[in-house]
Amino acid sequence: MVKESITVAMVGQPNVGKSSLINAISDAHLHVGNFAGVTVEKMEVETTYCDENGCCEYDIHIIDLPGAYSLNDYTLEERVTKDFLINEEYDLIINVIDSTHLQRNLLLTAELLELGKKMIVVLNMIDEAETEGISIDAKQLSTILGVPVVKTSAKDGTGIDELMKSVVEVFKRPQTKSKILYSDFIEEEIDRLVKFFEAKHYKSDIPYRHLAIRLLKEDTQIYKKMHDEPVWIELLPLLRDALDHIYLHTGKQDIKEIFNDEHFAFAKGAKMEVISTKDMRAKNITQKIDNLLIHPYLGIPIFLFFMWGLFQLTFTIGSIPMDWISAGFDWMSSQTKAILGDGMLSSVIAEGILGGVGAVVSFLPNIIILFFGIALLETTGYMSRVAFLLDGFFHKFGLHGKSFIPLVTGFGCTVPAYMAARTLKSRSDRMITLFILGFMSCSARIPIYVLFAGAFFGAEHAGNILFLIYITGALLGLVAAKILRITAFKGEDDPFVMEMPKYRMPSFKLLYHVVWGQAKDYLSKAGTFILVASVLIWFASNYPKQPELEAKYQQKIEKAVNESEKNALSAELQKIEMENSYLGMIGKATEPFFAPLGFDWKMSVALESGLAAKEVVVSTLGVLYSMGESADAESKSLQQSLKENISLPAALAFIVFVMLYIPCFASMAVFVREAGGWKYLAYLFAMTTATAWIFSFVTYRVVSVLVY
């Protein structure tokens, strides 16, 4: 039997559960978050429905459009959604509504009804509404809107079958008129324009009423389309008179504001007609929790305490499997040398591959714990509270409150953080956020911090140091934002609007999906890019070979009287060979730039390799500082090797430089795209490099005075 295809556009405001609803319909796996703008691009899912009448099958193609509060052009999400609904081909709209915030959601519903498309309204999260004592008369709401209304709960599957049945029924039946009505004076002008089109027999792809509404709303696309048509000459005076009439009645000259008022009145009236509340105890509990977590004085300390606890867990718990993994790679390296001897193949596997990749993989437990904690805070709804809480604080530094979303994302990875900045509608707000995102330490820098914190401060203090590093980087980012606001990107930031979702128990399936995705990406880097980088660094650190020098030292080693002298000569040979290698040449060439910071050429090379990916910094250090270990009777860890070769002031300066200099190549490419040109990347590189150098220099000098 031939299947009919139904294309559905799923539309709703942020946090109404669209992605969860699609999961319930088709068992799709879309990321579900509590922030506006999680779904930046439209997602597509296909499912099949078989009704009861002869089992006629339908292929239902659902397009999950980005969450949008309205069909305006303020944000990228709104533009994507509006452009699709107006310009693309589809059969009907599913408007998903949060049943616990009916009036606010009906504002978007009013705009969707103006499009003149077939439509279904879904009252999602109906179980949460009932828990809060909210009762909604779906039949009455359907009568008011003129479209079917279905109650659903994506959590327990309530109403999913009814929704799918409604999709088929609405698809099969003819177009019906929606019942959204405006004030009498607006309806009068709509009717006048409709009669004009009827008299002219004007050919239109959309109903005359909806065409008239879009003309009165000064829809840019409609104006451009009709401007070149002959009917425009006669239509223009009618539009001028209509707008003057509306302005006269409202006392306002902003047509968008006028229609917003109309939508608000419609939404409020519809809510009053269909909703009743019985018991507000659940809402009171939420409010009590919010009174504590977003308290003007206690809220920020509580947030900092949560983050401090997360970093403590990241290091304390993560250090246990980290030691096991590190010991495993050390064992594999020693076995490789025992089996293959001291040849080139043994060296490249033991020191290049296992030494570099093993140094990165050993930090996987820390990555998993950190991402689990952040995902937990996000899925419960707490992160939205933090965004609300920090809004006033952000404004003092010239940042938009909504900047918190990409900034928090930046703690995971800078690439999606740059993309998340699209939710900022003001270009100045967006550019400032893009420029300071690099100060938010991404997960790729965690191995570097953990390595140095463990080496120089011990396991008992490493968690505190990790927390201090993150907070310091964030604060420096805020200071940079203030400077950028008063210099490069002047202007006032826009007011902050974000709906706080209710607290929810996190789904284990969702947490697993997020954490596993991040861990998999981290391991894929270690197994591909970092593997290649480690081998290249090994090659550059071992070549060109110097046979004459090796022969000279080999004679000295053979004449040595004891084992200690032999080990010392072997270490000296390796040091000279390293300094004269390709990697040593690069390090020596750039050493003068980093010398005032206390860095040797090995640290310089590690920082330069970090431009490709920050994880490579650890693998580079693992290759460079493990070269002399074979000269010792005992095998020492990389942390011990760093502690013996690097001073405390230089180590702290190194941490500061890593914390502040430009992110990896991948993020640079995304930055260019989001900022709008390569010149901005040049500005970013200059700003971050100068900032990193200056603060590292100050750190090195101050600590040197205090310690020595």
User: Would you kindly state where each structural domain of the chain is located, as residue ranges?
Assistant: 4-172, 184-277
- Tell me whether strands 119-124 and 149-151 are parallel, antiparallel or unpaired: parallel
Whether pLDDT at 564 is above 50 = yes
Residue 471: phi and psi, rounded to 5, are -65, -40
Architecture of the domain whose range is 184-277: Orthogonal Bundle (1.10)
73-82, 87-96, 696-705: segment of lowest average pLDDT: 73-82
For residue 149, what pLDDT is reported?
Answer: 93
Bigger pLDDT: 533 vs 32:
533
pLDDT of residue 596: 92
For the question of whether the overall pTM of this predicted structure is more than 0.75, the answer is no
The pLDDT confidence band at residue 420, using thresholds 50, 70 and 90, is low
Q: In residues, how long is the chain?
A: 708
Q: What pLDDT does 139 receive?
A: 87
More confident residue, 533 or 662: 662
pLDDT at 690: 92
CB-count exposure of residue 353 (10 Å: 0-12, 13-18, 19+): buried
Residue 572 CB: number of other CB atoms within 10 A? Answer: 15
Q: Reply yes or no on whether the pLDDT at 1 is more than 70.
A: no
How far apart, in whole angstroms, are the C-alpha atoms of residue 154 and residue 167?
A: 17
Structure tokens at 395: 């404004």
**Quick one: which of 615, 586, 310 has its CA closest to 602?**
586
CATH code for the domain defined by 4-172: 3.40.50.300
pLDDT in tens, 635-654: 346 777 788 788 889 999 99
% of the chain residues with pLDDT over 70: 79
Q: How many CA atoms lie within 13 A of 196 on its CB side?
A: 20
Structural contact between residues 402 and 496, judged by C-beta atoms closer than 8 angstroms: yes
Cα of 526 vs its chain's centroid, Å: 22
Residue type at 276? S
pLDDT band, residue 29 (cuts 50/70/90): very low
Highest mean pLDDT among 111-115, 287-291, 557-561: 111-115
Name the residue with higher pLDDT: 351 or 191. 191
What 3 state SS string does 388-435 have? HHHHHHHHCCCCCHHHHHHHHHHCCCHHHHHHHHHHCCCHHHHHHHHH
In the chain, the percentage of residues whose pLDDT exceeds 90 is 9
| Most confident region among 366-375, 475-484, 500-509 by mean pLDDT | 475-484
Q: Which of 518, 391, 392, 397 is nearest to 405 (CA)?
A: 391
* Helix (H/G/I), strand (E/B), else coil: 308: helix
pLDDT of the residue at 672: 82
Per-residue pLDDT, 56: 58
- Say how many Å lie between the first and final Cα of the chain, rounded: 85
* Lookup result for tokens 């918190």: 404
Which pLDDT tens digit goes with each residue over 176-227? 666 677 876 788 888 889 889 989 888 887 788 888 988 998 888 888 888 8
Q: Is the dihedral of CA 653, 659, 660, 666 positive or negative?
A: positive
Going by pLDDT thresholds of 50, 70 and 90, the confidence category of residue 701 is very high
CA distance 393 to 476: 14
What is the band of 80 on the pLDDT scale with cuts at 50, 70, 90?
A: confident
List the single range of 62-66, 272-276, 507-511 with lowest mean pLDDT.
507-511
As a whole number of angstroms, the distance between CA 568 and CA 565 comes to: 5
As to burial, measured by CB atoms within 10 angstroms (0-12 exposed, 13-18 middle, 19+ buried), residue 180 is buried
> In this predicted structure, what is the pLDDT of residue 300?
81
Which of 477, 522, 519, 529 minimizes the C-alpha distance to 665?
529
What average pLDDT does this structure show over 273-294? 66
Mean pLDDT of 304-328: 76
Average pLDDT over residues 298-311: 81
Identify the pLDDT of residue 666: 65
Question: Mean of the per-residue pLDDT values for the chain?
Answer: 78
